Every structure is written in C-alpha cells, then in structure tokens.
Homo-oligomer: A and B are copies of this chain.
C-alpha cells in the first residue's frame, strides 16, 4: 500500500499515489479507532481510563497502540505526571486540533445522515460484529 518514495521533498503530496507518504498518513488517520480518539479529545485532555469509557468497545491494547501511532505523527501529545499512582493525560497538538475539525465534520455528518444511509437496507441492521 505504501512504498518509500525516492525523494520525499520533491514529491507533490498525493493520496492517490501509493508511494506517497500522504497515503500512509491517510491509512493511519482514517482508522476507526484513530478517528474516534481524536474526536473524543475535542475539548479537554483525557486519561487512559476516560478514553476507555468514552469509546465503547475499544480494548486497552488498541487504545494504547493507536495513541502511540497518533503521537508518532505529531497529532497527540502524552503528558505523564510522574505520580504514584500514575496519572497520564493525552492532549491534541495544534496539528491534531486542526485535523479534529475535519474528523468531527465526518463523524457528525454520519450521525446526522445515519437513518438515510441505512434506509431500505434491512441487511445493515442485521450485521453485527462480535465484541
């Protein structure tokens, strides 16, 4: 899906090109958990447990893993208070806050158009994933 480009700086960013870093970033950002985490962090910093409670169905493993990935691409900042018991907060970076606008727009759009999207589609109401 994503291959190393010859020279990143001289390449025009383009999600349609499989060798472009933009494609890799899209796959990271568009993940379901990524979008939900960024959405959840909209107005305040949240702790591990708070995120677990807000995002129903996410596992501890996927939460941690996704947070680390979001940190890596500069969207989330991790604040470890170095206390006992541990207190860690996650915060959106400026870049993250900027992206959040786009993600929230999508999430809210989906919620607003939910009934229309599943209209005449009894099959969707039958689909269920485990967990």
List residues of A whose CB falls within 8 A of some B CB: 1-4, 8-9, 13-27, 29-32, 35-36, 39-40, 54-57, 72-75, 95, 98-99, 102-103, 105-107, 109-121, 123-131
Contact = CB atoms under 8 A, between A and B. Distances in A.
Contacts of A119: 74
Q: Is the interface of A mostly helix, strand, loop or mixed?
A: helix
A126 B4 CA distance: 7
Contact of A117 (B25, B55, B105, B126): B25
A26 B35 contact: yes
A99 B55 CA distance: 23
B56 A16 contact: yes
Q: How many copies does the complex hold?
A: 2
Given A25-B114, A114-B25, A116-B74, A18 B124 contact: no
Given A4-B126, A74-B116, 8 more contacts: A1-B130, A1-B131, A13-B110, A22-B107, A24-B127, A98-B109, A99-B109, A99-B113
A87 B91 CA distance: 50
Contact of A125 (B21, B31, B35): B21
